[in-house]
């Protein structure tokens, strides 16, 4: 006989930032919620630089003050560098179109994810950990989440399983982005030379046409620093190097990162990942909603992952509230959620495509002379992606009529 683990309003797969945030928001609505998380926490996870616009969501769940008190490094800006020419510009969040979002945090994900998960439990979410979800069934008037130890019944199941894409993989809906097949190698280091103007800044340096890639430098409060390289997958394969050799050589030939890494000491091991940009044919189905990386993941150059995941959690909590009010848990009733998620992803993808095109990076690093452009870029970097007043979004997404707009032409120079 199958073991019955309980009945909840909502069952969530995954206790990363998206899952914990969704659970906290649903608990605030008074819903009974469970989280099924396969790993024991704390555990390593990449994705360490947060965006200012996720602070609103953390304030809403009540966890922002706990993040602050935990002593994570406050992040004030993002510096972008053209590796070949060393042209650079720093975007300070306080100078965005919206001046209400001046900071975010740089976080080691092991303690950060645990803090968020503990907060959801404190609000009353039931946690099954470590426990792997193994299947999903829609039984018509309720859903069943199958796990390694038994079944959970719920009105709706939310897949927040991250890049493991619990449901999209089973549904064969996961599609790797064909023109963004990248490889990344990264690690944590001691003795990295940080941003000279404000040591809390993230630094992103873009390099070479054929290699199509970039470095990141993300500082932490304990003095250690996350450094990674992202490059074109095809280029990496042609080199035939190990991830360690590739990382070492990439740093060696970099004008901007070599001096920063001269005395760096690796802590633990270098890690690598490949083909991390993908989407799903659908983000919803009857009694099922995919949230965050479980639905799609975009190139991480603008540190958008955690932000998009917690924003999607906020939007999912909104449609779930409506579903409980109407009693309608159909795919159709979740359609507006999917559209809004796709809209946000589209804005970032347009920005990412522009970044890999050297001309726009040039516009970025010379934007100091064009205040409106600089403020518009800063807002996008902060995560203000649903802002209709940001003409840059209209330009990047090719919104009809945008090119004819005088204000926009002035913006782009």
Ligand X SMILES: Cc1cc2nc3c(=O)[nH]c(=O)nc-3n(C[C@H](O)[C@H](O)[C@H](O)COP(=O)(O)OP(=O)(O)OC[C@H]3O[C@@H](n4cnc5c(N)ncnc54)[C@H](O)[C@@H]3O)c2cc1C
Footprint on this chain of ligand X (rule: CB under 6 A): 13-19, 36-39, 45-50, 132-133, 160-164, 166, 184, 228, 273, 276, 292-293, 300, 303, 305-307, 309
Q: Considering beta carbons, is residue 213 or 305 the nearer one to ligand X?
A: 305
Which residue has 């100091």 as its token pair? 368
Prior bond of 42 cis (ω within 30°) = yes
CB of 186 to ligand X, least distance (A): 6
Q: Considering beta carbons, is residue 214 or 329 the nearer one to ligand X?
A: 214
Q: Which residues contact 210 (CB under 8 A, 6 or more apart)?
A: 232, 235
CB of 107 to ligand X, least distance (A): 9
Rounded Cα distance between 301 and 350, Å, is 12
Q: Considering beta carbons, is residue 307 or 355 the nearer one to ligand X?
A: 307
CB of 185 to ligand X, least distance (A): 9
Q: Considering beta carbons, is residue 64 or 132 the nearer one to ligand X?
A: 132
CB of 110 to ligand X, least distance (A): 11
Backbone dihedral angles phi then psi of residue 175, each to the nearest 5 degrees: -125, 115
Structural contact between residues 363 and 33, judged by C-beta atoms closer than 8 angstroms:
no
Rounded Cα distance between 87 and 53, Å, is 27
Using DSSP's 3-state secondary structure scheme, residue 236 falls into helix
CB of 405 to ligand X, least distance (A): 31
CB of 41 to ligand X, least distance (A): 8
Which structure tokens are listed for 262?
């001269």
**CA–centroid distance for 236 within its chain:** 24
Nearest C-alpha neighbor of 352 from the set 411, 295, 288, 297: 297
Q: Considering beta carbons, is residue 95 or 134 the nearer one to ligand X?
A: 134
- Angle made by CA atoms 11, 70, 271, in degrees to the nearest 5: 70
Q: Considering beta carbons, is residue 43 or 370 the nearer one to ligand X?
A: 43
Q: Considering beta carbons, is residue 203 or 364 the nearer one to ligand X?
A: 203
**CA–centroid distance for 125 within its chain:** 23
Which structure tokens are listed for 356?
């890999």
CB of 160 to ligand X, least distance (A): 5
């Amino acid at each position: 006989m199958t073991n019955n683990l309980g009945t909840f309003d909502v069952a969530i797969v995954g206790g990363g930032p998206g899952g914990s945030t969704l659970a906290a928001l649903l608990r605030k609505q008074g819903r009974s919620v469970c989280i099924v998380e396969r790993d024991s926490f704390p555990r390593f996870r990449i994705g360490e630089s947060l965006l200012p616009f996720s602070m609103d969501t953390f304030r809403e769940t009540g966890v922002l003050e706990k993040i602050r008190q935990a002593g994570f490094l406050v992040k004030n800006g993002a510096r972008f560098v053209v590796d070949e020419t060393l042209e650079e510009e720093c975007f300070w969040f306080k100078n965005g179109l919206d001046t209400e979002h001046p900071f975010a945090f740089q976080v080691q994900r092991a303690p950060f994810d645990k803090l968020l998960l503990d907060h959801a439990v404190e609000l009353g979410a039931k946690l099954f950990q470590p426990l792997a979800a193994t299947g999903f069934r829609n039984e018509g008037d309720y859903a069943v989440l199958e796990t390694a130890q038994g079944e959970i019944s719920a009105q709706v199941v939310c897949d927040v399983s991250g890049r493991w894409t619990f449901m999209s993989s089973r549904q064969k809906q996961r599609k790797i982005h064909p023109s963004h097949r990248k490889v990344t190698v990264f690690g944590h280091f001691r003795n990295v030379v940080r941003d000279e103007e404000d040591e809390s800044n993230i630094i992103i340096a873009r390099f070479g046409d054929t290699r199509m890639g970039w470095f990141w430098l993300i500082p932490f409060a304990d003095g250690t620093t996350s450094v990674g390289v992202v490059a074109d997958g095809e280029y990496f394969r042609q080199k035939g190097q190990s991830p360690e050799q590739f990382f070492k050589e990439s740093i060696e030939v970099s004008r901007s990162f070599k001096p920063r890494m001269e005395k760096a000491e690796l802590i633990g091991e270098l890690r690598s990942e490949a083909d991390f940009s993908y989407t799903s044919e659908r983000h919803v189905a009857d009694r099922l909603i995919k949230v965050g990386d479980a639905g799609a993941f975009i190139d991480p150059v603008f540190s958008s992952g955690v932000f998009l995941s917690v924003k999607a959690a906020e939007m999912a909590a909104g449609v779930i509230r409506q579903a409980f009010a109407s009693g309608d848990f159909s795919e159709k009733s979740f359609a507006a959620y999917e559209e809004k998620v796709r809209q946000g992803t589209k804005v970032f993808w347009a920005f990412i495509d522009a970044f890999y095109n050297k001309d726009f990076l040039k516009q970025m690093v010379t934007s100091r002379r064009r205040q409106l452009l600089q403020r518009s870029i800063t807002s996008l970097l902060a995560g203000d992606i649903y802002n209709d007043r940001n003409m840059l979004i209209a330009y990047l997404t090719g919104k009809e009529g945008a090119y004819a707009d005088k204000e926009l032409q002035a913006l782009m120079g």
